[in-house]
């Protein structure tokens, strides 16, 4: 039974990570539940390092960029310290 709790816990963590990287929370939680929270988290970290996709021009920008370097789209400033 504890295994399922850990499994769910990891999925929730992945959800938080997904939110941090401006990605689909539900999609990533489902992925974490399907495969494994660890695998999903690793995948998310790799993708997060790679960059984020601009919603306006679909180009990839640096993860910490506030303005898209391709089309000058301003990313929503999330609560990030």
# residues near Zn ion by CB under 5 A: 7
- Nearest distance from C-beta of residue 80 to Zn ion, angstroms: 20
Q: Among 25, 57, 63, 75, indicate the residue that binds Zn ion (CB under 5 A).
A: 57
* Start-end of H helices in 1-81: 2-20, 25-34, 37-50
Quote the DSSP letter at residue 35. S
Quick check: 62 binds Zn ion (CB under 5 A)? no
* Residue 53: C-alpha distances to residues 6, 16, 25 (Å): 31, 18, 15
Query: Site residues (CB under 5 A) for Zn ion?
Result: 54, 56-57, 68, 70-71, 73
């Amino acid at each position: 039974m504890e295994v399922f709790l850990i499994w769910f816990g990891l999925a929730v963590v992945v959800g938080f990570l997904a939110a941090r990287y401006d990605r689909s929370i539900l999609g990533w939680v489902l992925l974490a539940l399907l495969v494994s929270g660890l695998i999903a988290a690793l995948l998310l970290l790799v993708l997060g390092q790679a960059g984020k996709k601009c919603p306006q021009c679909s180009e990839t920008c640096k993860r910490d960029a506030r303005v898209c370097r391709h089309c000058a789209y301003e990313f929503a400033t999330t609560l990030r310290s």
